[in-house]
């Protein structure tokens, strides 16, 4: 039974140390002290982001670790990665991250873990760490003008648009891509909202704040149809400022 929890914001959500979204993710493992691996590839293994991860996923709530691929210290990353209950992917440059994963063989390792029916792994992350589990999405990987990323790992059918409430370009480029068929029907969330999938099937959206933004978005007869998704409101600590880009 594998899970995906895809969130709108990456760094900004990680900075919310007491956000109940983190506890929701950890509880999906069914373990008292799950092993959590942080992949900060999308920011080039930025040190501050790794430190932020350890501040949020501290040793009191889980067993945290990280894997750097730009300064790789392990020969056998497959055995290492397979030992974790949660794979947490940071935000940043989605396209560059996927390219590095492919070069290092991590993409195939993650696909194998997803396909393992005996696994109870939780795959999660925000922004780039949310887009990567889908077939495609919107990204600023190629510069300040947003573009479409037509390929992800494909664990989940469809497309993903994070930062739907935070960046003006996100909605129009997502709509155009759905209308012209560049992206298949998908999902859009605000910075603080997350989508939970189990074995590839949508379970619920979750939000630590009232008035959540979690939508299914599709093109129907040449027009865009947005449908609100069922959402569980978690007890939270209030809204945050606009988050970082994917």
Q: What are the residue numbers of the active site?
A: 127, 163
| 30, 62 Cβ separation under 8 angstroms | no
Would you call 2 helix, strand, or coil by DSSP?
A: coil
| 61, 92 Cβ separation under 8 angstroms | no
Residue 144's Cβ-side half-sphere holds a number of Cα atoms within 13 Å equal to 0
| 190, 164 Cβ separation under 8 angstroms | yes
- The secondary structure element, H or E, covering residue 77 is helix 77-81
Residue 226 bridge partners (DSSP): 217
| 122, 87 Cβ separation under 8 angstroms | yes
Residue count of the chain: 246
Contacts of the segment 75-81: beta carbons below 8 A, 24+ positions apart: 77/104, 77/105, 77/106, 77/109, 78/105, 78/109, 81/37, 81/106, 81/109, 81/110, 81/113
Q: Which residues, 6+ apart, have CB-to-CB distance to 54 below 8 Å? A: 64, 66
């Amino acid at each position: 039974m594998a899970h995906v929890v895809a969130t709108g914001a990456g760094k900004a959500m990680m900075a919310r140390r007491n956000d109940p979204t983190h506890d929701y993710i950890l509880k999906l493992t069914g373990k008292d002290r799950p092993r959590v691996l942080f992949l900060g590839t999308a920011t080039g293994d930025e040190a501050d982001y790794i430190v932020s991860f350890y501040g949020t996923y501290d040793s009191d709530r889980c067993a945290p670790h990280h894997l750097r691929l730009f300064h790789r210290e392990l020969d056998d990353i497959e055995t290492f990665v397979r030992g974790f209950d949660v794979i947490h992917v940071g935000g940043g440059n989605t396209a560059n991250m996927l390219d590095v994963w492919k070069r290092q063989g991590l993409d195939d390792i993650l696909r194998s873990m997803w396909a393992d029916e005996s696994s109870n792994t939780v795959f999660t992350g925000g922004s780039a760490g949310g887009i990567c589990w889908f077939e495609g999405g919107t990204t600023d990987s190629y510069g300040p003008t947003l573009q479409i990323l037509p390929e992800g790992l494909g664990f989940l059918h469809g497309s993903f648009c994070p930062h739907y409430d935070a960046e003006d370009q996100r909605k129009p480029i997502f709509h155009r891509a759905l209308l012209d068929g560049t992206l298949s029907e998908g999902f859009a969330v605000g910075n603080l909202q997350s989508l939970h999938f189990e074995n590839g099937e949508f379970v619920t959206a979750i939000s630590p704040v009232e008035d959540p933004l979690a939508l299914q978005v599709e093109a129907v007869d040449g027009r865009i149809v947005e449908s609100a998704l069922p959402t569980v409101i978690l007890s939270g600590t209030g809204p945050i400022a606009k988050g970082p880009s994917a």
